[in-house]
Amino acid sequence: MTPDHISLHNKQFEPYLSAAQLASAIQQVAARLNHDYHGQTPLFVAVLNGSFMFAADLLKEITLPCEVSFIRVASYQGTSSTGEVKEVLGLTEELAGRHVVILEDIVDTGHTMRMLLDTLAEKQPASLEVATLFLKPECLQYELPIRYVGLSIPNDFIVGYGLDYDGLGRNYPDVYKAV
């Protein structure tokens, strides 16, 4: 049962998207990936921490041979983003000539995704795509080739399903927005 609101730190949140709505969006993204990569063996690169639930549920729907890797991107200094990816942590796979799909929980300004795309493109993959559960189009500050989008949403502050507020809220199966 979904609580009618949750409190995290000093903020209140109300229900926004149900687990069923998320599952439907993920199934649609998976169907497109299964179609587009038929006959291929893509490497899915999940960006931690936020994408862990999305990546797990998406990959359960992938019906083709694939590999999975997890990375962390260091772009923060203190509590604010520097807007520059300093380091990609955990990527040990060779990307040259591979079909790579980055799995991200949310793309808003696009700073981190732009730098991540540039960094991974230097490794000469055969193709490089992005699959994100959430996209905030009104926040984007870059033209990004985001081919797979689960849900386009307004510029609301959301938590749950892997997204957090200062470390809390990732564990909820539904998504909540700040009130």
Q: What per-residue confidence (pLDDT) applies to 79?
A: 35
Structural tokens at position 144: 């990004």
**Model pLDDT, residue 74:** 65
Domain spans of the chain, in order of start: 18-171
Q: Average pLDDT for consecutive 10-residue bins of the chain (179 residues)?
A: 86 97 98 98 96 98 97 60 67 95 94 91 97 95 94 96 93 96
Q: What is the DSSP letter of 174?
A: S
Q: Is 166 considered catalytic here?
A: no
* Catalytic hit among 108, 118, 156, 174: 108
To which residue do tokens 């949403």 refer?
153
Res 80: pLDDT:
44
φ, ψ for residue 158 (rounded to 5)? Answer: -120, 155
Topology of domain 18-171, per CATH?
Rossmann fold (3.40.50)
Contact 128, 117 (CB under 8 A): yes
Residues 74, 51 contacting (CB under 8 angstroms): no
Angle ∠(106,144,94) on CA atoms, nearest 5: 80
pTM above 0.75, yes or no: yes
